Structures are given as structure tokens and as C-alpha cells.
Structure 1
Amino acid sequence: MSTTDPAPIGADEHATGQDDTEHTGPMPVVAVVGRPNVGKSTLVNRFLGRRAAVVQDVPGVTRDRISYQALWNGRSFMVMDTGGWEPKASGMAASIARQAEYAMKTADVIVLVVDSSVGVTDTDLAAARVLRRSDRPVILVANKVDDERGEANAAELWSLGLGEPFSVSALHGRGSGDLLDLVLDALPEAPREQEETGGPRRVALVGRPNVGKSSLINRLAKEERSVVDSVAGTTVDPVDSIVSLGGEEWRFVDTAGLRRRVTTASGTEYYASLRTEAAIEAAEVAVVLLAADEVISEQDQRVITQVIEAGRALVIAFNKWDTLDEDRHAQLEREIDRDLARITWASRVNISAATGRGVNKLAGHLKTALAGWETRVPTAELNTFIRALVQETPPPARGGRAPKIKYVTQADIRPPRFVVFSTGFLEPGYRRFLERKLRERFGFAGTPIDVSVKVRESKARDRRG
């Protein structure tokens, strides 16, 4: 880290600086993290509006962090400057995990600083993998963006999977004020309590009433149900159960059956729907239980849509499979082809909660769906594939002009999200074509994926127009 720090941004009613007001309670904490020499300390000084002594981190000494009190727009908060994540052949992953996990546990907002002039390094990728598991807001900062040309370099940072990179020049102050506004928006009203991280993978068991969700939970728990964090009261509350399946522990949440849309439900049913929505949001993968002996209904479709819109991995489980005769088997296959055509990617398993048939297969399907949910395609491999695909099947022309795909990056996982940088609008049909081809090439079994487009008209084209 350079020992020469910039002068303050400037003194006005919004400027940062040490707050002289007495604070009796704890303040929210912003952790500024990143590898060495990306400009963390320079950015911290921008946050503070003054030069401050920055302690250099010694590899392996986790306590070399220093916090400063800052003020912006009348809001006080603490800024925690962390030591650089030094990429070394031995112990790098452990060191990165310790630093990132410490930031996750103690900070209310995490600012990851990346040197956009260098691009994404292995250390940046390793740090991002840890931070993506955080339940704290993470702001990705592309530092050393001094002009419009640097903005193009910053686009590569989408591949870290932390959302859109925010471009700044900490040295010259470019974008610093807007970044501070973004930090304030992300800060909670009060410091968050530290929460436990890790533990069993979280599974939401959802479906309409009377499809056998509680029977399946009891079967999984082998009738010895271990309940964790159950909410006392009525049966409409989600109940957490730790079950052993496939040699692993899983946290299953048995939810109330969804009969109607939240907007049309009332009373107890309304609150049951809200709690079920919250259970899906809190889960990593959802098992949608369908009754194989009944037709696939609009309610079933609505539950599936709810899981997809929440961006969760998905397993479709057909219960009561052992009760079907040949006619119903054939009819159900036709219903699946017709009514579930939009989710051919979903992992499917046939079970009987009553007899236990096929229940042990759930573990494999859950693991497959979660693996797809967390799949990341290297940027170089992704663009090589897309270039060949577009050359063979270019996007259709719109308004007499065919758009050109310049670059594609995977912006996120859990679920996988792709951003296509194009010179023009891509028709929904072509975006679906891209999604289908991505699945054919890279898998993504058991997970929804999202393909969005950012249109960037070339300046040369604008001049010709």
C-alpha cells in the first residue's frame, strides 16, 4: 500500500471526517477488503476525508486491522481497513477465508476493492467465492478507473459474481461521493448481531395442501423428528427439522400448503403464505412435492413459479408414485410433457413418503441441483463458446440492423446469471435460445438461470448514423 495518501475530497456539508459527537452505542461497520496494492487504504482515506495512518497487514496476523470513525451526510459509521489478502502458494485459501469470514461476521457492509487496471486475479476470485456466501451486503468497487477507457476494463469484474462493479478512482476522488451514498443506502439502521454461518444445507419443502409434505418429513426423520427453531403456535408456521440423508445432514423446512395467491388469501392462510415465501427465500434448494395420483394443477404451477422467481435450486418430487396404475402413469407423463415443459432442467424424482420407496434418492437430486445452482463458467471458455454459437446462429435483425454480441460474462451464481453485452436489443426468443445452448453445453441441472442484455451502441456506429 502506498504511504502517500490523497488530500480530502473537500469540505462541505456532506464531507466525511471524524465525528466529534459523542456516541454511546455501537455504530455500523463498513469493512474495506481486497488484495494488496489495489488502493484500499487510499479509499479508506477518501471515506474519512483526511489522511489516516494505515496499518499494513502482516501475513498470518489476523488482528492487524484498524477501524476509523467516519461521517457522511450526517450518518456516523466505522470504517475497518483490512490487511491485503496476500496470494502465496501455501496457506492462501485459509488466509483469504479467515479474513473474509472475519469481515462477514463483524461488518454490516463489505466493500471489496479490485484494481480494474490489472483485472481479475486468482486472489480476487477466491475472495469473491467466500464473500458470495455472506448475508451482508457486498459492494464491488473497481478502483483506478480514471477515464472512460477504464470503464471498459471494469466490465470484466462482473465475472466475480458480486453484481455490477462500481467504478471509482480513490486517488483522484472520482466517484467517491456516489460510492459513499451507496454505502449509506446499504447500512442497516443499527449494527447487526453476529450470526452463525455454515451448517446443513437449507431445503424448503413446499407444495399445495395434502400432497404428503409432513409425511415425507417424518419419513426422512425416521419418526424421530429433531426440530430446530420451530415457531410455537399454529400449524401454518414453517418448522425446521435436521434430517440425515445420503450421509449428510440437511435442514428441511416443512411449510404450510399454498392454496391461493398471497394477494387473495386472508386470515391464517395469508400469514401461512407469507411464511412459506420467507422459507423459500431462506432456502438454497426447494423440493416441490406433487401428488402423482392427481392432475398437475394451477396451484402446483404457482408454487413452482414462486421457487423459480426466488432463484432457488429446484427438485420436483412426485409422491404416491407406488399407487399409480398403468393408465395414470401414461397420463402423468403427458401432463409432465405439457405442463412442465418450461422446467425440463429441473431434477425429478419419484417417491412414496408412506412406504419410503425412492426417498433415499432425494439426496442425489438435491446435490445435483445445488451443484448446478453454484456452477460458474470461466469467462474465456464462456466467450469462446458464445462466439462460435453466434457465428453459426447470429441474432435476428431488428429494425433492419442485426445486433452484435461483443462480450458475455457470468455475473453471479446461486442462481447463475449471465450478462450479454450487445450493440442492440436481443429478442426474447434469442435469449431463450442462448439459455438453452448454455444448458446443453455447461449443464446447470436443477437450477434456473438468467440471461440479461446490456445494450452498448458503438460510437463509430453513432457517427455513421
Structure 2
Amino acid sequence: MTDESLAGGSGLDGTWTDEAEWAQFDEAGLPEDESAPTPQPVLAVVGRPNVGKSTLVNRLLGRREAVVQDVPGVTRDRVAYDALWNGRRFTVVDTGGWEPDAKGLQAAVAAQAEMAMSTADAVLLVVDAQVGATATEEAVAKVLRRSKRPVLVAANKVDDERTMAEAHTLWSLGLGEPMPVSGLHGRGSGDLLDRILDTFPDTPREEFGATGGPRRVALVGKPNVGKSSLLNRLTGELRAVVDDVAGTTVDPVDSLVELDGEVWRFVDTAGLRKRVKTASGTEYYASLRTKAAIEAAEVAIVLVDASEPLSEQDLRVFTMVVEAGRALVIAYNKWDLVDEDRRHQLEKEIDRELVRVRWAERVNVSAQTGRAVAKLAPTLRTALASWDTRIPTGQLNSWLSDLVAANPPPVRGGKQPKILFATQAHPRPPTLVLFTTGFLEAGYRRFLERKFRETFGFTGSPVRISVRVRERKGAKSGRR
């Protein structure tokens, strides 16, 4: 222990404290770094729209991850999930529906599927057995035969013996024996998983979306604010599908991005359109994925459309990030569309609406032109450094003693509460625990946080202050 008050010494006011009570707040080191994972083989799941790819992916994963709805085209980007079967881990990449002659948005979706095929170790072509091989499947099969990748054919929607005959007609695709499965009911999924493992090479072609080392960054914001455009700008490729229609992204999309000489893991998420409790269908599951992406990240970049007034949706995104306790960087996108009048108005909106996140760094960017995108990496490092910081208990109590002596807590109920002791219970996010003899007003806690930041920094990270009122021993014995 670095401070003797932890072991029964005196608190800020000289009161002797109980050793057992303070012992649980002994200073622990930061969490150990996760070891780098070994590369996993990658399976790309492809097929035309609405053949049940995402339903089958959920069946292979053994959990509901991919967004599923009875509407064609729900999955639009390529999305990676971790899978485990018979003790072997691999990555499943769900893709948007593949159409050989697609135009517009569907062409971008098809490009995502082709990109997944080019980086995978094996490909699973999903065909609706009840419909049979269409011209689209024949075109896909022609591409796959040239890809020099191991290919499996899943004859999906074989829910009973009556559709087994339809499954055998898929031999005509020239991709080997079709595997009859039912993504909805699970029929044949175990045999398919065994075949998938047998198909994988001994050494994966390349590491796809590895987890562990790179710091995790969530791109969040309301729909059509430019999240996917920014991700594409950062990666230098068409990594996420972009369209003028709001809500193009449904699933979170992982990308490894190199910024300023460092690799980061970016997750582009669906825009938060409605509250999770009131959203329905695709939006409901997309909201859950976005919330999970924030909680799985270490730092969030909240994109705000600088050309439009701050909305309730923007404020709700900030609330989600702060409540999740994640580091924060605010990126005002579409800055190329902001004139002098709008800048002046935006400053007023920030002062009025974003009081709660004044500690977050701001970057004015343009995903369209690339303006100031390079500034994101330094601000991310600053925010994460604050998020990881731990102040030694002795230093913290020395600072707090001087501050409280000059600015004591306000009187409440005729009595002035005293702060006996303080410790930073843990980082990520930095959390201070204050042991007091009485309740501390919310205004005084905000004052402590402001002074704490002025002294120790913590730019870009939320700071939580927890107050624990310690009852007098006489009062405890009286109850006994």
C-alpha cells in the first residue's frame, strides 16, 4: 500500500479509520494486457439476397448475432463474427446479397461480398433449396470456380424430407456435393460445421479483423451523419457501404485502420434512430448492436453533422457513451459545408447543450474531403491515456486535503459533512470513491470533478465520483 491511511492510519480530518474497511481499496495494478490471439481461418458466407444467409450464420455461431428480418437486403456490409466448433475457433463473415448485374446500392453490396471472398480461406455459398439454382447462383458459381478457394454449397431451407430432392439438384452448380441444412431449425448444421473445419487450410491465408492488441474505437452517431464515409476515408477503400439513404449500415463493421503509424480497430455502427425500447424490427437489433459496440470499445468517436443544429439524437448518443464510461472524441463532420454564421451558431449550441462533455476534445473534419482526419489519432491517444490513468492514493488525498480546507463542503441539515478519505478505485473509466460523514451535494461533486481535472488532466475521459457515507461507530452499536 502506498498510503498508510489505508492500513488504519488517519483520514483527511485526522479520524482513525477501520483497517478492514480500507483494505478492499488497496491499489491494484492496471489489468494485464491480453495476449495476442493466433490467426483464425475465415469463412465467407455468400449468396443472393434473402436466401437465409444471416439465419444460417446465427445457427453456425450458436447465438443470435446477425440481424435477421423477412425483408431482402437487411445485411449490406461484410460483418465478422467469432465462431467455435469442436474446440477450433474461426471467423465467419456474413455478407450482403450478391447480384452479378447489380447497380447503385446493390452494386456496393455485391462489391463487399466479392471482397470477403477474396480475403477468405473458404467460401460457403448459400442457396434456397426450395427455389433451386437461379441464374444468379450460376453466375456466382462461375466466379467461385475461378477464385481458387475451397467452396461449400449449403442447400438452405431443407426443413423436411420432402425438400431433400431439391437439394440434390444443386450438384449442377459444379461446386461439389450440396449440404442440406435448415438455418431456421438447425437441421444438418453440425455436419456442415464438420465439413467447414475439414475445408480450412492448416495455415490461415491472413489475419482477418484480429482482436486484442489494437485499441478498439466505436464510430457512433445519428443516421446519415457520415460514419461509413469517414471509415472509408480512414481505410482508403470502400470498406462500408455508403448511400444517401439514411440507415444504410445495420450491423457493426470491424476494420483494422492504420493511423499515424499505429493500428486501430474501428467499428462502424448503425445510426441510432430511436430508443432501443421503442425501436422495432431491424432498428431494434441494430440499436442493440450499436449499444454493444460502444460497451465493447475503449474509446468512441461521436460524429456530429456540423452543418445542422444539434438534435435530440446527437445528445442521446453522447449520453450512451458517457453512461458506458468510455473515452470520447467529438468529430464535427461535414465541416466543408459550414460557413461563418453556422460556426458562430454551433459554438452557442455546444456551450448550451454539451455542458456534460466539455472535457472531450473536438476535431472539425470532413470525410468527403479528408480535412483534419489525421488529427483523430492524437486525440484518440490523449483520450485513452486519460482513460487508463490512475492517481496514487497518497497524491490524491494530499490534493484533496488542501482543496477541502480552502473549500469545505456546504452545510446540509445543520451539519457540515467531512471527507475522511479518497481513493481512485480503478481506471477505465477513472472512478473516485470518497468516504464521508455525510451526503455531498451534486453541485459540490461537480466542483470536485472540475478541480480534479484542472490538477490531473483527464482530457477525453469521463470521471466518476462515488460517495460512501460512513456512519459513526456509536450509531452502529446503538442499533445492535
Give the TM-score normalised by the residue count of structure 1.
0.58
**1:157 is the counterpart of 2:40:** no
Match of residue 411 from structure 2:
397
Q: Structure 1 counterpart of 2:270, which letter?
A: A
Counterpart contact for 2:249–2:271, Cα < 8 Å: no
**1:425 is the counterpart of 2:430:** no
**Aligned mates of 1:434, 1:255 — CA distance in 2:** 35
**Aligned mates of 1:381, 1:205 — CA distance in 2:** 36
1:260/1:348 Cα in 2 relative to 1: closer, same or farther (>3 Å)?
same
**1:415 is the counterpart of 2:433:** no
Counterpart contact for 1:205–1:254, Cα < 8 Å: yes
**1:252 is the counterpart of 2:121:** no
Deviation at 1:396, TM superposition (A): 1.0
Deviation at 1:194, TM superposition (A): 9.3
Match of residue 392 from structure 2:
378
Match of residue 285 from structure 1:
299
Match of residue 70 from structure 1:
none
**Alignment deviations for residues 129-151 of structure 1 (CA, whole Å, 9 cap, x no partner):** xxxxxxxxxxxxxxxxxxx9541
Counterpart contact for 2:25–2:425, Cα < 8 Å: no
- Of structures 1 and 2, the one scoring higher in RCO (CA 8 A, sep 6+) is 2
Counterpart contact for 1:435–1:449, Cα < 8 Å: yes
Counterpart contact for 1:208–1:259, Cα < 8 Å: yes
**Aligned mates of 2:361, 2:459 — CA distance in 1:** 7
Deviation at 1:197, TM superposition (A): 6.5
Deviates more, 1:196-205 or 1:330-339: 196-205
Counterpart contact for 1:226–1:242, Cα < 8 Å: no
Q: What pairs up with 1:162-181 in 2 under 5 angstroms?
A: none
Question: The residue matched to 2:374 in structure 1 has which SS?
Answer: helix
Q: Structure 1 counterpart of 2:414, which letter?
A: G
Percentage of pairs with the same residue: 63
Match of residue 365 from structure 2:
351
**Alignment deviations for residues 63-88 of structure 1 (CA, whole Å, 9 cap, x no partner):** xxxxxxxxxxxxxxxxxxxxxxxxxx
**Alignment deviations for residues 303-362 of structure 1 (CA, whole Å, 9 cap, x no partner):** 010000001000000001121111111111111111112211011100000010100000
1:161/1:419 Cα in 2 relative to 1: closer, same or farther (>3 Å)?
farther
**Aligned mates of 2:363, 2:333 — CA distance in 1:** 9
Counterpart contact for 1:159–1:409, Cα < 8 Å: no
Q: Structure 2 counterpart of 1:341, which letter?
A: V
**Alignment deviations for residues 218-263 of structure 1 (CA, whole Å, 9 cap, x no partner):** 0001126499xxxxxx841101011111111111000001111001
**1:434 is the counterpart of 2:303:** no
**Aligned mates of 1:265, 1:406 — CA distance in 2:** 46
Counterpart contact for 2:421–2:435, Cα < 8 Å: yes
Match of residue 299 from structure 1:
313
Counterpart contact for 1:408–1:420, Cα < 8 Å: yes
Counterpart contact for 2:300–2:328, Cα < 8 Å: yes
Question: The residue matched to 1:287 in structure 2 has which SS?
Answer: strand
Moved over 4 A (4+): 116-120, 158-162, 192-197, 460-465
2:344 aligned to which of 330, 337, 353: 330
Question: The residue matched to 1:424 in structure 2 has which SS?
Answer: coil
**Aligned mates of 2:476, 2:20 — CA distance in 1:** 19
Counterpart contact for 2:228–2:240, Cα < 8 Å: no
Q: Structure 1 counterpart of 2:261, which letter?
A: G
Q: What pairs up with 1:356-371 in 2 under 5 angstroms?
A: 356-371=370-385
**Aligned mates of 1:305, 1:333 — CA distance in 2:** 20
**Aligned mates of 2:275, 2:431 — CA distance in 1:** 27
Counterpart contact for 2:306–2:346, Cα < 8 Å: yes
Question: The residue matched to 1:414 in structure 2 has which SS?
Answer: coil
RMSD in angstroms over aligned alpha carbons? 3.0
Match of residue 319 from structure 1:
333
Question: The residue matched to 1:157 in structure 2 has which SS?
Answer: coil
Higher Cα Rg: structure 1 or 2?
A: 2
Q: What pairs up with 1:188-203 in 2 under 5 angstroms?
A: 198-203=212-217
Deviation at 1:152, TM superposition (A): 3.6
Q: Structure 1 counterpart of 2:432, which letter?
A: F
Q: Structure 1 counterpart of 2:352, which letter?
A: R
Match of residue 340 from structure 1:
354
**Aligned mates of 2:28, 2:420 — CA distance in 1:** 15
Counterpart contact for 1:159–1:410, Cα < 8 Å: no
1:399/1:366 Cα in 2 relative to 1: closer, same or farther (>3 Å)?
same
Deviation at 1:193, TM superposition (A): 9.5
Deviation at 1:441, TM superposition (A): 0.6
Q: Structure 2 counterpart of 1:267, which letter?
A: G
Match of residue 462 from structure 2:
448
Match of residue 63 from structure 2:
none
Counterpart contact for 1:160–1:411, Cα < 8 Å: no
Counterpart contact for 1:215–1:353, Cα < 8 Å: yes
1:395/1:149 Cα in 2 relative to 1: closer, same or farther (>3 Å)?
closer
2:282 aligned to which of 248, 265, 268: 268
**Aligned mates of 1:216, 1:152 — CA distance in 2:** 49
2:226 aligned to which of 196, 212, 219: 212
Match of residue 32 from structure 1:
none
**Aligned mates of 2:431, 2:240 — CA distance in 1:** 36
Match of residue 77 from structure 2:
none
1:215/1:301 Cα in 2 relative to 1: closer, same or farther (>3 Å)?
same
Instruction: For structure 1, list consecutive stretches of 5 or more residues without a partner in the other structure.
Output: 1-113, 121-147, 163-191, 228-233
1:375/1:281 Cα in 2 relative to 1: closer, same or farther (>3 Å)?
same
**Aligned mates of 1:118, 1:425 — CA distance in 2:** 22
**Alignment deviations for residues 62-120 of structure 1 (CA, whole Å, 9 cap, x no partner):** xxxxxxxxxxxxxxxxxxxxxxxxxxxxxxxxxxxxxxxxxxxxxxxxxxxx9x99979
**Aligned mates of 1:161, 1:359 — CA distance in 2:** 31
**Aligned mates of 2:21, 2:30 — CA distance in 1:** 17
1:193/1:385 Cα in 2 relative to 1: closer, same or farther (>3 Å)?
farther
Q: Structure 2 counterpart of 1:157, which letter?
A: D
Deviation at 1:462, TM superposition (A): 7.5
